[in-house]
Amino acid sequence: MRIHESVFWGIVFFLVGIFLAPSMRLIGITILVGAFVLALGLFAYRKKNNRMLWFAILATGIIFGAMYWTGFNVYQKNKITELIGNKSAIEGHVKSIKHNEKSQQLIISIDAQNNGKVSVTARPYPVLRYGDVARVNGIVKRPSEKEKMYALKNGVFATMQFPEVQILKQGDGNAIMMWLLGVKQKAVTTYGRLLPTKEAALLAGITLGERAEFSTEFKQQMANSGTTHLVALSGYNISVVAGAVLLICGLILRRRAAFYATLAVVVAFVVMAGAEASVVRAAIMGSIVLLAGYIGRAHSMRNAIAVSACAMVLWNPNVLRYDLGFQLSFLALLGIVYLKPHLDVIIKNKKAGILEWRENLSGTLSAQIMVFPILMHAIGSFSLVSLLSNIVILAFIPVTMGLGFAIAGLGFFASALAFIPAWIVSLLLQYEIAVIELFGNYEGLLIPMTALWVFVYYIMVGGILSYLQKRKKEVALCHSRGGGNPAQSSAEGSIR
C-alpha cells in the first residue's frame, strides 16, 4: 500500500472511531475492533496478502479515535465539574454571542483556574459584545438534551439560564477579531439601510450566514420549503465566491497568481463573515475546492480533504458528530470535488452561457445532492416541494451573493454607488422571498426523514458514483487503445 493510501485510510479509521465513540463505550469499541483486526490479520497472513494485512493494522485507528474523543471530553468536563449544581459568580471573556429578540446567547471563557467554557442564556440587556469581560451570577447546570448539540460542538460542558449579568470591562478581546466583527456589522447595517427589512435579512443570511433578523414565521417557511440551507454558510458558499473570483483573476493574471489571489479573497470573505469558527472551517473547505482545480489529481485531493477534516476534528472531536455546519461543509465539498465533474458532462456545453450559469448550476446541484439528506434529517422531515423550490431558486443564489458582496464593498468605500447593485439584488431577493413564501405554505407536505433513509440515500449515491468512475476509466482506456466501444474493448481484453 502506497504512503498516500496509508495516510488516507489511517485518517478515515481514526474519524470512524471518533464518530462511534459517543454511541459506544471505549471498552466495547476496543473489543469489537480488536476482534475484527485479529480475524482480518490472520486471514491476510494465511493468504499472504500484505495489502490486506496493512489494512488491518490501519483499522486499529478506530480505537485511537475513540480514545481521543473520550480523553478530550473527560478533560474538558473535569475543568468545570466542581461548579455543576452550585450557584456561582463566574468572571470571563465573551467569546461568542448571538442576539435574539428576547435573549442573548453567550459563550463565556472562564478566567479563573478552572478555565472551561460556559454557555449562558442572558436577558437582552445589558447588551454584551465579543471581548467584554463579564460577571455572571447564577446556578451552573449540565447542558440538557436539547442543548447538547450546541454545547458539544462549541466545547461547552456547563450552562446558565438568565443569570445576573454585570459588565466589568468592554473591548478586551483580540483587536483583530473585534475589527473583523465590526466589518461584518457594517455590512449588515449597509444592507439594512439600502433594502427593506426582509430583503436585507435574507441577503445577510445568504452572504454572511446571519440569521438574527429572521422572523419565526419566515424561518418556518424556509423549513417547509426546504430552503434553510440557503443561509447555512458552508464550503459551498465560499466555493461559489472563490470560483467567481478565480474566473475574473484568470483573465488578468497567470494561473499561479490567480490561485493565490483567490485564496486572499477567501480570507477577505472570512473577514466579512466575522472570522467565527464555522466560517473559518467553511473557508478551509472552500479553499480545498480551489486546490482541486489547481492540483487535478484525485488521490491528492482525497488526502487534502481527509487531512483538513482530521485537523478540525483534532481541535474539537465533537464537531464530527454534533456540528451540522461541519457536516454540511464536508459533504458539499465532496459533492463539488467528486460529483460535479460527472454533472458537468450532462449540463455543460462548449458555450459557457450567460454568467457561467451552467457552471453555477452543476456546482449547486452537486453540493445540494450531497447535503440534502443530512439537512432534512436535522430538520426532522423532508418537504415534498423542496426539490421544486430549490430548482427555481438555486440558480440565482450565486448572483445574489456576488451583488451582496458588491454592496458591502461599496458601503465601505463609495456608499453613494451602493444603491445600483442594491436595486438589482432587490429584484432577485423579492423573487427568492416569493418562492420561499409560496412553497413555505405547504406545511402538510412533510414526511419524516429517518436515519435509515439517510443511510440508504448515501449507499445509493456511493454506488452511482462508483459506477460513473468505473465507466469513466473504461472510456479513457478505450480512447487510449484507439477508440471503439468501451464494452467491446473490455470483451476483447478478456479474450486476449
What HEC string does 430-471 produce?
HHHHHHHHHHHCCCCCEEECCHHHHHHHHHHHHHHHHHHHHH
Count Cβ atoms within 10 A of the Cβ of residue 483 and give its class: 0-12 exposed, 13-18 middle, 19 or more buried.
exposed
Same domain as 292, residue 248? yes
Residue 468's CB: how many other CB atoms inside 10 A? 15
Residue 179 lies inside a defined structural domain of this protein: no
Q: Which residue has the cell 472570522?
A: 275
Instruction: Give CA torsion, residues 115, 118, 122, 125, to 10 deg.
Output: 30
Give the model's pLDDT for residue 199. Answer: 92
Query: Last residue of some domain: 173, 195, 217?
Result: 173
Look up the domain containing 47 and give its range: 3-78
Residue finishing a domain among 47, 78, 109: 78
Closest CA to 382 of 298, 442, 335: 442
Q: What is the pLDDT along the chain (496 residues), one digit of tens a residue?
A: 677 778 888 888 999 999 888 888 888 888 888 888 888 888 888 888 888 888 888 888 899 999 999 988 888 777 777 788 888 888 888 888 887 778 888 888 887 666 778 889 999 888 888 889 999 999 988 888 777 777 887 778 888 999 999 999 888 877 777 777 777 888 888 998 899 989 998 998 888 777 666 777 888 888 778 777 777 666 566 666 777 777 777 778 787 787 777 777 777 666 556 555 556 666 666 666 666 566 555 556 677 778 878 888 888 898 888 887 778 777 877 887 788 777 777 766 555 554 455 555 666 677 778 877 887 777 666 666 777 787 788 778 888 888 888 898 888 888 788 888 999 999 999 999 999 988 888 765 566 677 788 888 888 888 888 887 777 777 777 766 665 555 444 444 443 4
User: Residue 492 has what pLDDT?
Assistant: 44
pLDDT for residue 79: 73
* CA 336/CA 285 separation, integer angstroms: 11
Same domain? For 215 and 266 the reply is yes
Q: How many domains does the chain have?
A: 4
Same domain membership, residue 104 and residue 59:
no
Last residue of a domain, one of 49, 78, 107: 78
For residue 213, which of 196, 229, 231, 201 has the smallest C-alpha distance?
Answer: 201
Residue 95's pLDDT is what?
84
Q: Peptide bond before 421: cis, by omega within 30 degrees of 0?
A: no
- Domain membership of residue 477 (yes or no) is yes
| Residue 190 lies inside a defined structural domain of this protein | yes
Q: Is residue 178 part of a domain?
A: no
221 and 292 co-located in one domain: yes
Q: Is residue 192, in this structure, part of any structural domain at all?
A: yes
Measure the CA–CA gap between 195 and 188, rounded to whole angstroms.
Answer: 11
Same domain for 335 and 292: yes
- Same structural domain, 317 and 366: yes
The values of phi and psi at residue 125, to 5°, are -130, 145
Residues 167 and 285 in one domain: no
pLDDT in the model for residue 355: 45
Any domain includes 496: no
Does a structural domain hold residue 362? yes
Same domain, 402 and 362: yes
Same domain as 119, residue 206: no
Based on the fold, state whether residues 235 and 126 are members of the same structural domain: no
- Residue 258 domain-assigned? yes
CATH, residue 92 = 2.40.50.140
Distance (Å, whole) CA 116 – CA 273: 26
Cell numbers that stand for 215 in this block: 422572523
Determine contact, residues 26/320, Cβ cutoff 8 Å: no
My answer on whether 445 and 458 are in the same domain is no
Whether 422 and 462 map to the same domain: the answer is: no
Compute the distance between CA of residue 126 and CA of residue 124 in angstroms, rounded to an integer.
Answer: 6
Instruction: Report the C-alpha gap between 324 and 378 in whole angstroms.
Output: 8
